[in-house]
Amino acid sequence: MIKFQWQKVSTHWFLIFFVFSTCFDLYSQTEKDPAESKTDNKKKIDFTIRLGQGGFTDNRSPIGKLGGGQLTLDIKPKKLPVAVAVSVSNEYYTNSAEPTHSYEIAGLTAVNILYMTKLLKNKRVTFFAGGGAGGLNVPKSEENPDEMEKGIFYNIEAGLNIRLFWKMGFYGIYKYLYAKKEINHVNVINFSEHIVLLGFTFQFSL
């Protein structure tokens, strides 16, 4: 149930952020005076919510690949001298709703520092790249699927965020993930993966 539960939580949080920010935006639009058209320039932080799906190839899997998902929040202060954002994401990469193998990632949390810059004059396309670290959970065995081996991973990533209309858009991202852990000279966690994810974005400022 880990995968399905994660997807439900991801969707619920995305909807909560969407409704909250939409209501906030509509409220601010109705409350402000027409002369206050520069209100957006006074907002101090940009937020981007990313919700995507993807995966990576892995010969340890019977089907040669693993599918996964990502829910990410990028937080970018506007007044920094460099366009840098702090990115926090939750992800999973499994073959089923109940991961049981050590080559599956039941869940991970990543904290990354990303450089962000606009690529086009209309400011609809944003390029971002950076890296960071986090923790992950891997099933110990098929016999004990609820028991998890915990480990640390490192990753780098780069991608594009394209705003289509209003605050909505989509993104594509490539990331490299590395994690290794040995117990008694046996690899209990072993990942060196090239991951691709595609999904939707929602942007707002406060």
Which pLDDT does position 74 carry in this prediction?
Answer: 97
Q: How many domains does the chain have?
A: 1
Domain at 162, CATH number: 2.40.160.20
- Domain assignment present for residue 98? The answer is yes
90 belongs to a structural domain:
yes
pTM of the model: 0.79
In a domain, 157, yes or no: yes
Q: What is the pLDDT of residues 46-84, one digit of tens each?
A: 999 999 999 999 999 999 999 999 999 999 998 887 899
In a domain, 37, yes or no: no
Q: Is residue 36 in a domain?
A: no
The reply to whether 170 falls in a domain is: yes
pLDDT of residue 166: 87
> What pLDDT does residue 38 have?
58
Q: Residue 193's pLDDT is what?
A: 97
Confidence of residue 41 (pLDDT cuts 50, 70, 90): low
Q: Which DSSP string do the residues of the chain spell out, in sequence order?
A: -HHHHHHHHHHHHHHHHHHHHHHHHHHHHHHS-TT-TTGGGG--EEEEEEEEEEEEE-TTSTTSEEEEEEEEEEEEETTSSS-EEEEEEEEEEESSSS--STTSEEEEEEEEEEEEEE-STTS-EEEEEEEEEEEEEEE--SSSTT-EEEEEEEEEEEEEEEEEETTEEEEEEEEEEEEEEEETTEEEEEEEEEEEEEEEEEEEE-
Q: Over the stretch 125-147, which tens digit does the pLDDT of each residue have?
A: 999 999 999 999 999 877 777 78
The pLDDT of residue 11 is above 70: no
Mean pLDDT of the chain: 84
Containing structural domain, residue 75:
2-31+42-57+66-205
Residue that wins the pLDDT comparison between 68 and 34 = 68
Which whole number is the average pLDDT over 101-130?
A: 93
